[in-house]
Amino acid sequence: MFKEELLEKPKRIKLNILKKIYLNNGKISKSDLCNNLNISFPTLRSYIKEIEFLLKSNNYENTHIICTKNYILLKSDKNFDLDKLTSILIQDSLKFKLFKYLFEKNSLPLSTVKICNELNISKSTLNKNIIECNNILNNFDICIKNFKFIGSPIQITYFFYLLFINTRVISNDESLLFNKLVNFFYEKFGIYLNSKQKYLLNVWLFTINNGFSFFKKDYKFIKYHKENLKILNNNPFFLELIKFFEQIYLNKNLDKCLAYVTTCFLLSFNILPTDFIYKNYGFKDSKSYKIYNLIINEINELYVQPININNILKQNILSICYRFYFFKGIFYSNDYITREYYLNKFSNHSRIKFVENLLLKLHNLDGYNKSNDEFFKLVIIITLSYINGKTKNSINIGILSYNEDFVLIPKIIRLNDYLRKKFDINIEIYNKNKNYDLVISNIISNYDKLSNNYRKTYFFTNLDGEYDLNNIVEILNEIDNSVRY
């Protein structure tokens, strides 16, 4: 799911308008915006007025939407935070309020009259929103029935953790339980948490404490989680975590359940260091780790020169492999428009074919769920954009220029940085003894200078200017699309 699904349609459209303008460097044509969002020009004008009011009412007086004859512009100062504004809109939405209300009241008797009175809504509005909430929850194998959440306590906790973390609804106030657990990690295993990891853990513990009654209803593990417990039963980390929760809650069945679901969380959200997981055989001997190994091996096979797939990139992939093994359901931390923006920015024909072939191999692994394909596609595409190496399908580019090297080399560096996010390229100063897919030159009579060692040429005026960059990207797309697999 995408978090904008929590919004009512008018608010969702207003947010999408802002996102479109923001991601388009603060300027977009009215016709493109109307076509993309399937709205009319009069409707767009109406929404723009409402967005202006929205900005002012949330103390963004220095941020404005400006309409010209053909374009819409976003003028903002450094204090404008679109993610924060998104969270404000979501927290004010009825579906979010209903989710939060039912979560907080999960152990209390509820009725239609009581809920309608406290949320100040009609019975028909309540019923309509419960149906919409259940459409969201279906992705997580949960549902609302008689105003109670029905499903695995582990899945319910997972969903609400994602809801709270992606809407920034939980403050950074540290609880006594949080401080004890942070000290436990450090004293028992030498694991130090950074500020981000501490915040994630804090939200997780908040979710467990406030959803405590979900676990009290059913301590029995379903078959799927029993299989995972077999791997963890002799794991020193897991056994110590059980002892920790025994001291807190004094309930043997509950302690094992909380230790298990917290271990799943720690592995799934990048809390445990990669080297700690590598050294721990119990964690490595899992289906999710085998999925991770296949992904990393395939990425390594893609490159013919040493690559810099660092521990941060590896840890991100590993945590996601664990997440979709232990839990079911996707809750994107960004919105649909932003996801599509990143896919378009970092994708090319070669990368898409690589991901498609990789997914086919993942489908044959036990423990991999095909419903996670789109999320893994995004993760792998973005990961490839950060790797600085030469692939088997790298596009070789030669630069032939009048410019002095001290002028040319910085331009080549900027060109390389700009293109590498989207393409697997190798750029160098032109050498007549090498072969190139593309030669870029500003020498008018360059045919006298070139050997017959290139597929395409492009004559530039300003190597790092927007006009030339756009033309170069278009040519690289043509070259990339011609590669056969």
Does the pLDDT of residue 218 top 70, yes or no? no
Does the pLDDT of residue 485 top 60, yes or no? no
pLDDT of residue 306: 64
Q: Of 453, 466, 449, whose CA–CA distance to 402 is shortest? A: 449
pLDDT of residue 484: 64
Task: Give SS3 for 403.
Answer: coil
Task: Give SS3 for 14.
Answer: helix
- Among 219-233, 277-291, 323-337, the range scoring the smallest mean pLDDT is 219-233
Encoded tokens for 242: 């059980």
Type and span of the H or E element at 294: helix 287-302
Let me know: does 398 contact 438? Beta carbons within 8 Å.
yes
Does the pLDDT of residue 100 top 90, yes or no? yes
Q: Higher pLDDT residue, 111 or 403? A: 111
Task: Give SS3 for 163.
Answer: helix
Kind of pairing, strands 71-75 and 64-67? antiparallel
Does the pLDDT of residue 252 top 90, yes or no? no
Give the pTM.
Answer: 0.88
Share of the chain above pLDDT 90, in %: 54
Among all chains, which residue has been given the structure tokens 């417990």?
Answer: 229
At 260-274, the pLDDT tens digits run 999 999 999 999 888
pLDDT of residue 251: 64
pLDDT of residue 111: 95
Helix, strand, coil % over all residues of the chain, rounded to 5: 60, 10, 30
**What average pLDDT does this structure show over 265-288?**
84
- CA–CA gap between residue 423 and residue 346 (Å, rounded): 8
- CA–CA gap between residue 101 and residue 95 (Å, rounded): 10
Among all chains, which residue has been given the structure tokens 């009290």?
Answer: 216
pLDDT of residue 97: 96
Let me know: does 475 contact 433? Beta carbons within 8 Å.
no
Distances (CA, A) of 386 to 38, 263, 309, 469: 34, 29, 8, 20
- CA–CA gap between residue 111 and residue 99 (Å, rounded): 15
pLDDT of residue 107: 86
**What average pLDDT does this structure show over 460-473?**
86
pLDDT band for position 244 (cuts 50, 70, 90): very high
pLDDT of residue 380: 95
pLDDT of residue 361: 96
Per the DSSP assignment, residues forming a β-bridge with 150 are 143
- CA–CA gap between residue 282 and residue 233 (Å, rounded): 9
Type and span of the H or E element at 145: strand 143-145
Q: 394: which DSSP letter?
A: P
pLDDT, mean over the chain: 88
At 387-407, the pLDDT tens digits run 877 888 889 999 988 777 667
Let me know: does 337 contact 19? Beta carbons within 8 Å.
yes
At 53-64, the pLDDT tens digits run 999 998 888 898
pLDDT of residue 217: 53
